[in-house]
Amino acid sequence: APQRPVVISTWDSGVTANKAAWATLKANGRAIDAVEQAGIAIENEPSCCVGLDGNPDRDGFVTLDACIMDDRFNCGSVAFLERIKHPISVARKVMETTPHVMLVGSGAQQFAVANGFALEPAKLSADAEKAYREWLKKSEYKPVINIENTKSTPQRGRGPYDPTQFSPNYFDDGSFNHDTMGTVALDAAGNLSGMCTTSGMAFKMRGRIGDSPLIGPGLYVDNEVGAVTGSGQGEEVIRMCGAHTIVEAMRHGLSPKEACQRAIERIVKRDPARAKDFQVGFIAVNKQGEIGAFSVQKGFSYTLTTATIEHKVYQAENYM
Ligand code: SD4
């Protein structure tokens, strides 16, 4: 018999997300409501990594990306959104009250404010302020030689864009300072939904968005098959259309873990040498309530909650 309800979130901070989702799921609530609650909870969590407490872009501004998808291919997304506390709820509003899927930047902010979301002060959290000051030191003093012109985009006097500074989230000891939370859930009625919310890669170029607000790469839900989201270097996920690729692999018979593994292998295969320097991890749940995860590097964890498993954190298997 299918195991349901079930909810799985990226990382160990998935405990916060799953607790919020479970309150809805255990009361026979809908998966779409559960995953939105997961997003709200994690965007509220000052010790976490996403939402307005996250790290800023290289110009010092926090810019948020989020998306949500239900069991009927309805989806909503916001990207490059500033000064709004709950991008996941704005994404849901886009899904439910507009003819569009995605709003970005000032348009997304205008839509949020028109729908009653407060415009928060443009202020960094203490942790983000500290991290940004640290980053600025290196970015100012580290000379960058021989990078191609396309990557040398001077901005506000901070010198050329240094690609070696772009993945500061992955450390040599294998730990990973993530900034994205994704949740996928199967509810008691057997319907799937998912969400993803992020402040994006720390110290990204201004205006950059990753995979996390993109329906297809960062999140995909097909209610006949399964739901997938992930975390990590967004550019690598976008080019392989990660989440959708995994849903399709499950459609063709792979288990959630096998499907995640196959997508990770494809990402690594493109450039195995470069793959040593970035992290990507996926989580998946299928229509039967089976779950799986796989990542490039060690250190990717996920949190699982079912009727018998109470917010338990597991390490995903990995390629390296
Ligand atoms: C991005 N996927 O903006 C996000 C970053 C991330 O843990 O997942 N960090 O590319």
Centroid of ligand 1 to alpha carbon of 300 (angstroms): 13
At 135, the pLDDT band (50, 70, 90 cuts) reads confident
At 159, the pLDDT band (50, 70, 90 cuts) reads very low
Relative to the CA of 234, which ligand 1 atom is closest? 10
Q: At a CB cut-off of 8 Å and minimum separation 6, what does 213 contact?
A: 65, 66, 67, 77, 78, 79, 91, 102, 196, 198
The residue written with tokens 């009625």 in the block is 189
The stretch 189-199 carries a mean pLDDT of 98
Q: Report the alpha-carbon distance of residue 113 to residue 96 in Å, rounded.
A: 16
The residue written with tokens 């501004």 in the block is 61
Question: Ligand 1, from 206, 208, 233: best to mutate by most atoms within 8 Å of Cβ?
Answer: 233
Question: Ligand 1, from 12, 167, 171, 201: best to mutate by most atoms within 8 Å of Cβ?
Answer: 201
Q: Is the CB of 85 under 6 A from ligand 1?
A: no
How far is Cα of residue 227 from the mean position of the Cα atoms in its chain?
14
Centroid of ligand 1 to alpha carbon of 237 (angstroms): 9
Residue nearest to atom 3 of ligand 1 (CA): 200
Q: Is the CB of 281 under 6 A from ligand 1?
A: no
Tokens of 120: 């928060």
Whether the pLDDT of residue 28 is over 60: the answer is yes
Whether the pLDDT of residue 53 is over 60: the answer is yes
Identity of the amino acid at 203? F
Q: Among candidates 145, 181, 166, 233, which has minimal Cα distance to 65?
A: 181
Relative to the CA of 65, which ligand 1 atom is closest? 3
Whether the pLDDT of residue 291 is over 60: the answer is yes
Centroid of ligand 1 to alpha carbon of 189 (angstroms): 31
Centroid of ligand 1 to alpha carbon of 198 (angstroms): 7
At 152, the pLDDT band (50, 70, 90 cuts) reads very low
Whether the pLDDT of residue 122 is over 90: the answer is yes
